[in-house]
Structure 1
Amino acid sequence: MTFNKQQEKSLRETLEQLQGHEAVISFHQLQGFLFAVACSPELIKPSEWFDLIWLNDEPQFDNETEARDFFSQVVSLAVYIAERAQQRRFLPFDSIYSERWQNELAEWCEGLLMGHQYLEDVWLITIDDVNDIAMTDDIDASLNLAATFADAASARQLSFDDEVDLGSDHLAQAYELFSKVLNTYATMGGIWADGSWDFNAEQLFLALEPVAHDEPCPCGSGIHFSSCCLH
């Protein structure tokens, strides 16, 4: 599915109007939030997450048609972002970090963190079930880096106070790492959802154990192994 420039322009304009009433998150926050939703280990319907993009409980539209159009635009963006995530296209920015769009990146990361917080319970279950240290480290890194970029100004001040360099070069390296670990963030939920991590360790161990000569044959014949498949 495509989300063309005209659709983006229309959605941005509506969001800006609503933001004037402090009613809704920004376009880039919405993108980050929808990326988190797309990566959710469990399928989340638009009817479940749509209310979360509002900053108050009373979004104002002139009529029902406008409200429906806005909902349709947001869902179209959600589908587009989900498809991009499946194509391993995570960030809506250039592959090389630039301070020119740091503010937009900060908002995107705010949206990601907001979405992850909403899905935190299912993520805790997923991480515990998959039980992969390297993948868990990547998930932690993606969230820590998102927090850094979401408030880069404060992070820079802290690094200055601690006499640690957090200049453009460091942020460029952090951005490169961020792009890489987001791959794990985007795929771990799918691994959990399809159950490819799930196996019975005890059954696997028993399957690897040698069968004694006087034990029943594993083929199910009921005959001792020594008189059946062993010969």
Structure 2
Amino acid sequence: MSSPLSELLQDRQLAEQLLSESQTRGFITAMAAAPHLINPSEWLAFMWGGEETSPFASHEELETYANAIVEIWNQTREALLTGTWQWPEGCALDDKELVSEATREFSEGMLQGWQLARDDWETLMPEDSEDNALLGGVLLCFSLLYDPENALEALSQEGADGLAQFEEIFQSVPTMICGLTLRAQALVEAQE
């Protein structure tokens, strides 16, 4: 994954203060899927823990970082709306750990980002609505992928072949998140 974001994260000092690349991509995916567009200026600081002061040594570094974030957001938003979104490079299942570290971190970033748009989602897809099941399904998938050990145990307790179910969950995420984004877009347009 050689990108401006990867290059910035090679700086050890910055890497310690910023979300990892996979967490960042998960967070951005949550923002790109959000039903109402949230300006990156409103959430960019979450990439470094919400602190008022950025960890960058210069304005140019901050600008490079912000541009990389916006570029990833644009690509992700387009992929979600065209139904072509796929797991980022490095996200995969793992024989020993169930999921790769990148998958776990992506899922963590996704769940963190979802918190920022939570009110919009809950307003658009209230608890008693049919659409809420789709939203709940997507969130459940990311929760399971973030904590695969407990997920596998829970699936086994339900009598399911945990590993097979896990693979199915992982494989279904791209279709589910694209579907959720498209459904949210349609609901928002219907309200306008």
Q: TM-score range by the shorter chain?
A: 0.7 to 0.9
Higher RCO structure (Cα 8 Å, ≥6 apart): 2
Is 2:174 the partner of 1:179? yes
The percentage of counterpart residues that share the same residue type is: 19
Q: Tell me the secondary structure at the aligned position of residue 8 of structure 2.
A: helix
1:192 partnered with 2:175? no
Segments of 5+ residues of structure 1 without an aligned counterpart are: 199-231
Give the CA RMSD over aligned residues: 2.9
Contact 2:26–2:105, Cα closer than 8 Å, also in 1: yes
Distance in 2 separating the partners of 1:19 and 1:65: 16
> Which stretch shows the higher mean deviation, 59-68 or 108-117?
59-68
TM-score (normalised: structure 2): 0.82
Which residue of the partner structure matches residue 122 of structure 2?
124
Tell me the TM-score normalized by structure 1. Answer: 0.69
Q: CA deviation at 1:153?
A: 2.3
Alignment of 1:158-169 (within 5 A): 158-159=154-155, 162=157, 164-165=159-160, 167-169=162-164
The offset of 1:105, in angstroms, is 1.4
Quick check: which one's helix share is greater? 2
CA contact (8 A) 2:14 2:56 kept: no
**1:77 and 2:72 equivalent?**
yes
Matches within 5 A, 1:49-68: 49-55=43-49, 57=51, 58-68=53-63
Which is higher, the Rg of structure 1 or of structure 2?
1
- Equivalent residue number for residue 143 of structure 2: 147
Q: Is the 8 A contact 2:27 2:106 kept in 1?
A: yes
Q: How far has the Cα of 1:147 moved from its partner?
A: 0.1
CA-CA distance at 1:132 after TM superposition: 4.6
Supply the AA of the counterpart residue of 2:72: L
Structure 1 CA distance for aligned equivalents of residues 66 and 153 of structure 2: 39
Is the 1:19–1:26 Cα contact (8 Å) retained in structure 2? no
Helix, strand or coil for the counterpart of 1:195? helix
Task: Report the secondary structure of 1:128's partner residue.
Answer: coil
